[in-house]
Amino acid sequence: MDSCERLIPSDGKAILVVDEMQQVHVGAVRGNAPSRGPSRSSALPSSIDRTVIGLVFDSRRPLYYPDTRAGDGVPELIRRFAQKSGTASMVIAR
């Protein structure tokens, strides 16, 4: 988490872990991360193809969405996640 903070300063961060069954779990959370709280914890574990982390695995590069709610080219999965979590911008990397 310290390395993440140095690279990408933010209000909150979450490290998601993908297991051998391609299920996504919360590995660590710091700050005001959207994975914190009962609504997010009940959504995980989840199949990687149903999560925002699945998008970065498919693209094979970090993804950055400065305006998750109204920006051009934001995938619907990201928009829904942003709306539920209150996230205004997002960086996803693997």
What pLDDT was estimated at residue 34?
58
What is the model's pLDDT at position 33? Answer: 59
Q: Which CATH number fits domain 2-92: 3.90.550.10, 3.30.450.40, 1.10.3720.10, 3.40.50.620?
A: 3.30.450.40
Q: Kindly tell me if the per-residue pLDDT of 30 is higher than 70.
A: yes
Check residue 66 and give its pLDDT: 92
Rounded to two decimals, what is the model's pTM?
0.70
pLDDT of 15 > 80? The answer is yes
The string of pLDDT tens digits covering residues 62-71 is: 999 999 988 9
Q: What percent of the chain has pLDDT over 90?
A: 19
Please provide the DSSP assignment of 57-86 as one string. HHHTS-EEES-TTT-TT--HHHHHHHHHHT
Question: Which residues are within 8 A (CB) of 65 and not within 5 positions of it... i.e. 6 or more apart?
Answer: 71, 74, 78, 82, 89, 90, 91
